[in-house]
A and B are shown apart, each in its own frame.
Chain A
């Protein structure tokens, strides 16, 4: 199943937690300290790590969405 990551930069508290956990996927802007996405659709092997990062995000700024034919939000 394919899936995609969304980050809500307005919500992001700039904790840096996500990029400390999954640097391949998340980055942090030098300008405002908020989250940046390196890729919205990383390789499936990273799914578990991204899910954990989303759960630990203190501002609920990271969400995962399925992009398959009959996709719903996760």
Chain B
């Protein structure tokens, strides 16, 4: 079985169960910024790995000097036209282009909007727990709950019609599972894009009160079809595996900490802090979009030159003593820390409020429904995700 410590896996994505991999820590060796082998994609261009908390905030907070435009392994000229498949993908935009596009989207992600979405999410969480209870025990928590709940939530948010949801999510998961193989990925992306393009056309004609419908109604003449499509593809890339990874990995972690599990289950006042600590401790995204320095910048005592690439390790930053004391201790009763699990700066996760809401609802609901929840296999047999954008487990066999 491949493990996430395989050397074929880029070093910054390696994990040892819940922790950043030992060799990642060794390599960093207490240095906040180190050179890494960027692999064939980077060619001769130096690649820096940033693992310190303050240094990660410095890089992500400085969009003037660190660009996200896809220059890393880019086939097109850096300042040439954006390839079709990246149009609308906010993470490929720098201000002021980024500012223009993001301003249309932020109103759809406010706390008030999320509160309107909340009853629907609670309902679909209940629906999935009912189904799990009817057909188990045992169950694979990923297939029965952790993966379909964020999927259904995203469908509801975007405004994917009920009858289309199964088909849409199949296309999403095929795209997310296609991995790094360029051809397979392009084919799966094309299938997903085609569905989304049709939905965009439909919502232009007949806007509902979902994300796409609201955007089409409020900003229809200022945002293009290609941008709407790209934004939706980004929501799929950013909003599914991150949340399902959190739910699966978080449940596994809590099962190993029965006292904290009981606290999260029984004390509603503990839930917000618990979700934040789970986000920090697990930090499922390995890294944000690689940045490219636009001028020479000193970071953590090292000189990063214009044109060089920078990869930030979010899990390492969130385990830095500069962020909080005893960073390797998992403790849901901590004061919430200013962690970077959702990134930092202008690209700070647009879906953070939505993700937090999903986790706040889904964890306690699961733990309350099945107070006897436990693993159905020895812990060593739980397969951790490898080669995925977000850390997590592939399957989580549980019983109750």
Q: Which residues of A contact B (CB under 8 A)?
A: 13-17, 19-20, 28-34, 55-56, 58-60
Tell me the nearest residue of chain B to A57, going by C-beta. Answer: B338
Known contacts A14-B110, A32-B106; is A60 also within 8 Å of B353 by CB?
A: no
Q: Which of B61, B112, B348 touches A15 (beta carbons < 8 Å)? A: B348
Q: Which residues of B contact A (CB under 8 A)?
A: 61, 102-103, 105-112, 114, 336, 338, 342-346, 348-350, 352-353
Tell me the nearest residue of chain A to B60, going by C-beta. Answer: A58
Chain A residue numbers with a CB within 8 Å of B61 are 59-60
B342 touches A32 (CB 8 A): no
- In angstroms, Cα B341 to Cα A56, docked, is 12
A33 touches B107 (CB 8 A): yes
- In angstroms, Cα B336 to Cα A17, docked, is 12
- In angstroms, Cα B336 to Cα A16, docked, is 16
B338 touches A28 (CB 8 A): no
B109 touches A14 (CB 8 A): yes
CB distance from B136 to the nearest CB of A (A): 35
Tell me the nearest residue of chain A to B109, going by C-beta. Answer: A33
B109 touches A32 (CB 8 A): no
Tell me the nearest residue of chain B to A13, going by C-beta. Answer: B348
A32 touches B107 (CB 8 A): yes
B352 touches A15 (CB 8 A): yes
Known contacts A13-B348, A14-B106, A15-B348; is A28 also within 8 Å of B342 by CB?
A: no
Known contacts A20-B353, A60-B61; is A13 also within 8 Å of B346 by CB?
A: yes
Chain A residue numbers with a CB within 8 Å of B349 are 15
A58 touches B110 (CB 8 A): no
B109 touches A16 (CB 8 A): yes
> Can you list the 3 inter-chain pairs with the closest CB atoms, starting with the nearest?
A33-B106, A14-B106, A58-B348
Chain B residue numbers with a CB within 8 Å of A31 are 107
Tell me the nearest residue of chain A to B339, going by C-beta. Answer: A56
CB distance from B84 to the nearest CB of A (A): 27
- In angstroms, Cα B110 to Cα A16, docked, is 6
